[in-house]
């Protein structure tokens, strides 16, 4: 907010020649003459699952900036907090800003607007690049050099921009698997996975899977990898997780976490080597390595609604950004660098998710084979290919022909 929202607020004050009307103190813009205040408040459900950060506020109205990055629970709770201050002078309101994006705002506002079904007192307004009459024509023309997906999203206001041919997971599959409330059952197998980080910009991310449901995300910036090992050991003990169901990416910083678990906690974790060879899947899928296999199993689990998960804004952003290519007639998931370049964050949540799902499918009574063989039906001794399998074979065929 200090780098984006507050500078925008200050710029608007200069444009409206109201620079002396307020002063910012401790993330609050105070207006001495009227007693009004503008509160700049963060909204991160992973750090504040009960939304205590906004409970108890007495507001006239609220503005949610980049609404696609927060949980819909904030919107619903804010509806109970507005209209509690100075009502006689200003009607209560909530304003939502965002770029075209898949998510709850699209479901609630855009889709209903397109279908002429907006609820009473809801309003939707699109803002296109040419609605800004202060932009130079040269700037508008320069936008035509953007990649196709970005041009459709940011310039043409294409809310379905996620329909990218080589996108691994579609938003519709993501949406159908969301289950925010899951009650752990006594017979559920529990799996724990961790993607350790340390001094850089990336955060350590932990997650669990119980039965076929994953989530319970934990995120820790700049956490010592030894502390990550201690934390994972505590979680394993708390949820009765077998040593071999504790999964860690051991490359780089993760090696320290593995050593901590092994030497100080007596836990021999399962080490997920992303570059290792993929499992044998009866020739149904040709996958580049173990990382590609894990992502593809995550894809198939979501596409066929065989897994559910707790929604998280970062997980959604990351999982919808994953793309794949055909490399030497094998399906390969693009690397972390490509994902970080597009979404400006490390895919820690999706890395944890694919490790959990890979462990779930590859170690439980042939679940991998069952999942993949669901795509093949035998009719009078012949194979009838599903749409998904036909699509994959067509991709490989086109690649081999150089198309």
Q: Are 278 and 243 in contact (CB under 8 A)?
A: no
Judged against a pLDDT cut of 90, whether residue 354 lies above it is answered with yes
Q: Are 171 and 162 in contact (CB under 8 A)?
A: yes
Calculate mean pLDDT across residues 327-356: 89
Q: Calculate the CA 386 to chain-centre distance.
A: 28
Domain spans, the chain: 5-131, 171-373
Q: Across the chain, what does the average pLDDT equal?
A: 85
pLDDT in tens, 224-259: 999 999 999 999 999 999 999 999 999 999 999 999
**What is the maximal distance between C-alpha atoms in the chain?**
84
Q: DSSP state, 186? A: T
User: Cα(17)–Cα(199) distance, rounded to whole angstroms?
Assistant: 43
- pLDDT bucket at 152, cuts 50 / 70 / 90: confident
Please tell me the number of Cα atoms within 13 Å of 262 on its side-chain side: 13
Q: DSSP state, 82? A: B
- pLDDT bucket at 374, cuts 50 / 70 / 90: low
For residue 329, which phi and psi values (nearest 5 degrees)? 65, 20
Q: DSSP state, 273? A: -
Segment among 70-74, 167-171, 388-392 with least mean pLDDT = 388-392
pTM of this prediction exceeds 0.95: no
The confidence score (pLDDT) of residue 343 equals 84
Judged against a pLDDT cut of 80, whether residue 402 lies above it is answered with no
Nearest CA to 215 out of 24, 15, 49 is that of: 49
User: Cα(196)–Cα(194) distance, rounded to whole angstroms?
Assistant: 6
CB atoms within 10 A of CB 340: 16
Q: How would you classify the pairing of strands 28-31 and 36-39?
A: antiparallel
User: What SS3 class is residue 309?
Assistant: strand
User: Cα(361)–Cα(372) distance, rounded to whole angstroms?
Assistant: 10
> Strand runs (DSSP E) across 28-82, as ranges?
28-31, 36-39, 61-64
User: Cα(276)–Cα(375) distance, rounded to whole angstroms?
Assistant: 25
The confidence score (pLDDT) of residue 136 equals 84
Whether domain 171-373 has CATH 3.30.420.240 = yes
Judged against a pLDDT cut of 70, whether residue 74 lies above it is answered with yes
The confidence score (pLDDT) of residue 44 equals 87
């Amino acid at each position: 907010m200090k780098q984006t929202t507050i500078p925008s607020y200050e710029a608007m004050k200069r444009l409206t020649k109201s620079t002396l009307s307020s002063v910012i103190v401790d993330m609050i813009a105070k207006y001495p003459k009227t007693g009004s205040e503008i509160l700049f408040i963060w909204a991160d459900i992973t750090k504040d699952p009960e939304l205590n950060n906004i409970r108890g506020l007495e507001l006239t109205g609220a503005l949610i900036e980049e609404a696609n990055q927060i949980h819909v629970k904030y919107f619903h709770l804010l509806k109970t907090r507005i209209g509690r201050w100075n009502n006689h002078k200003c009607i209560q309101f909530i304003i939502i800003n965002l770029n075209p994006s898949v998510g709850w705002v699209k479901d609630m506002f855009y889709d209903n607007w397109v279908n002429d079904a907006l609820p009473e007192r809801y309003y939707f307004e699109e803002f296109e690049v040419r609605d800004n009459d202060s932009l130079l024509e040269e700037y508008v023309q320069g936008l035509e050099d953007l990649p196709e997906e970005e041009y459709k999203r940011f310039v043409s206001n294409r809310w379905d921009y996620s329909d990218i041919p080589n996108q691994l997971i579609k938003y519709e599959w993501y949406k159908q698997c969301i289950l925010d409330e899951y009650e752990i059952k006594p017979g559920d197998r529990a799996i724990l996975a961790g993607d350790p980080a340390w001094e850089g910009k990336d955060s350590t991310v932990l997650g669990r899977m119980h039965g076929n449901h994953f989530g319970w995300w934990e995120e820790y910036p700049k956490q010592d990898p030894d502390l990550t090992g201690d934390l994972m050991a505590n979680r394993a003990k708390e949820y009765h997780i077998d040593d071999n169901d504790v999964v860690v990416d051991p490359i780089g910083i993760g090696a320290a976490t593995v050593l901590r678990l092994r030497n100080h906690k007596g836990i021999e974790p399962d080490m997920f080597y992303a570059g290792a060879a993929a499992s044998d899947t009866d020739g149904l899928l040709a996958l580049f390595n173990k990382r590609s296999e894990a992502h593809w199993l995550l894809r198939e689990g979501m596409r066929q609604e065989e897994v559910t998960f707790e929604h998280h804004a970062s997980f959604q952003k990351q999982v919808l950004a994953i793309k794949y290519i055909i490399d030497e007639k094998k399906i390969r998931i693009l690397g972390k660098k490509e994902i970080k370049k597009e979404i400006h964050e490390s895919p820690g949540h999706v890395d944890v998710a694919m490790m959990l799902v890979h462990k779930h499918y590859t170690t439980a009574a042939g679940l991998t084979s069952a999942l993949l063989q669901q795509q093949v039906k035998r009719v009078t001794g012949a194979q009838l290919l599903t749409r998904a399998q036909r699509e994959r074979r067509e991709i490989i065929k086109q690649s081999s022909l150089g198309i």
